[in-house]
Amino acid sequence: MSRLSKILAWLFIAFWALTALAPQLIAPGDPLAINPAQAFQAPGSGHVFGTDESGRDIYTRVIHGAGDSLFIGLAATAVGMGLAIVLGTLAAMAPRWLDGIILRVLEALYSIPSLLLALLIIAFTGPGVGPAIIAVGLSTAPGYARLVRSQIRTLKNSEMLEAATVLGRGTWLKVRNHLVPNALKPLLALVTLGVGQAVIWAAALSFLGLGTPPPAPEWGAMLSAGRTYLHLAWWMSLFPGLAIVVVAAGATLIGRALGGKARTI
């Protein structure tokens, strides 16, 4: 990746981190404040992104919704990666028969589309922010686990592990200090891409009414509310949708930048 791309990637991280942690600095105002007299106002000088059916400012809601959407994406990715590290490491270090069982289960889950798997999990846990995080995280875990397993199995035969064995280090120390850290380095780019993907899936669950409930300013929930008035107020869906696209595209840019860095380690 070029130097410009890396600079843009870091600027992207800084902007969305600021937006998520201190939205009032960018959009002072209450994202839940209603003003029926200003309902369905088109984008203009008074309201940059227009207003919704209750007169709430769309710009304020999009900015304040970044925290909810990014939190769900990051938390879901953490859940998925944490479970993947446990399952992938166990499969790689276990006897062949146990490795085969774990691998067959992972492949069966991996064959199910992730969003469909998340919907199946939501059917058992019920809707909400917490269940959405767990559902999206669990649906991404099989793919990550297969990669972790593959990386650790490759590293098991490396000179680094042979040297650790000669030094008398036990299995747990080798896994903790050598196998897992080195197995995760090539996955940095993939995990970054997974954050953008998790944001999209979380928004899809909210769009279906299974994630963050309205009137919270979460992008998927805003898209769901806007579809009813698409013929009347297109901006209600356009700007939350653009926010999702920008985050997904930015995550791809960051992933490519990290991928280039990972190859030099």
Which of 18-22, 84-88, 155-159 comes out lowest in average pLDDT? Answer: 155-159
pLDDT in tens, 96-150: 888 889 889 988 888 888 788 888 888 888 888 888 888 888 888 888 888 888 8
pLDDT in tens, 39-59: 999 998 888 999 999 999 999
pLDDT recorded at residue 39:
92
Integer angstrom CA distances of residue 23 from 15, 68, 138, 250: 10, 11, 29, 19
pLDDT recorded at residue 240:
93
Distance CA 10, CA 69 (A): 19
Residue 1 pLDDT class (50, 70, 90 cuts) = low
DSSP per-residue codes, 152-184: HHHHTTSHHHHHHHHTT--HHHHIIIIIHHHHH
Distance CA 153, CA 84 (A): 14
Mean pLDDT estimate for the chain: 83
Which of 45-54, 56-65, 154-163, 199-208 comes out lowest in average pLDDT? Answer: 154-163
pLDDT recorded at residue 185:
72
pLDDT recorded at residue 38:
92
pLDDT recorded at residue 152:
82
Distance CA 121, CA 136 (A): 9
Please, what are the domains in the chain? 3-260 (1.10.3720.10)
pLDDT recorded at residue 264:
35
Beta-bridged to residue 57, according to DSSP, are 51
Q: By the 8 A CB rule, do 51 and 57 touch? A: yes
Residue 238 pLDDT class (50, 70, 90 cuts) = very high
Which of 85-89, 181-185, 229-233 comes out lowest in average pLDDT? Answer: 181-185
pLDDT recorded at residue 191:
80
pLDDT in tens, 73-97: 889 889 998 898 888 888 888 888 8
Distance CA 38, CA 61 (A): 15
Residue 61 pLDDT class (50, 70, 90 cuts) = very high
